[in-house]
Amino acid sequence: MGKIKAVLRSKSALSFVEIMTAVLVLGMVIVPLSQLFNRGATGTVQTRDEVLAYHYAEELLSWLQSKKYSDPDIAVTSAPKPFSEIIINTSGSTSEKNSIDTSKFTRTVIIREISPSPSWPYTYKILNVQISWKSGKVDRKIDMASLVYK
């Protein structure tokens, strides 16, 4: 008990300069750490958006490839055709509607028909799916293509 009283009676304390130095050093450590976490969160959002974009492109491409060559859904287009949702027929008479987040993403397809030569027995349709979105202030897009033939 006597030691505690002696410590409490002593007049030693931190000066204003020492306190300001400690605050400055602490600020020099906290500011870069907060920027690191902020950039990490931004990178995570960008990665998530890119993964979603690839998923949306693959989903539409697979759906188009499942159609017959003469199906109107894969008719030749002269301009990008928007596909914000697709309807997938499941077992029996039920169907499932798959949509994309239209507030952030746009999904379009351009379909061209080619025939390599007159003697070639097959004709092809090139399916080119494009997904566009805005990531921060940057416009991003991916393209995915495939062939169908008859």
Question: Is residue 86 in a domain?
Answer: yes
Question: Is residue 6 in a domain?
Answer: no
For residue 6, the surrounding DSSP H or E stretch is helix 2-9
Alpha-carbon distance of 144 to 63, in angstroms, equals 13
User: Out of 73-82, 89-98, 102-111, which region has the weakest mean confidence (pLDDT)?
Assistant: 89-98
Question: Is residue 4 in a domain?
Answer: no
Contact 132, 93 (CB under 8 A): no
Residue 107 CB coordination number (10 Å): 24
Question: Is residue 109 in a domain?
Answer: yes
| Confidence at residue 128, expressed as pLDDT on a 0 to 100 scale | 96
Question: Is residue 3 in a domain?
Answer: no
Question: Is residue 144 in a domain?
Answer: yes
Provide the domain limits for residue 76: 14-149
pLDDT per residue as tens digits for the range 102-142:
899 999 999 999 988 888 888 999 999 999 999 888 899 99
Question: Is residue 132 in a domain?
Answer: yes
Give me the number of domains the chain comprises: 1
Q: How far is CA 56 from CA 63, 64, 68, 93, 106, in A?
A: 11, 12, 21, 25, 10
User: Does the pLDDT value for residue 1 go beyond 80?
Assistant: no
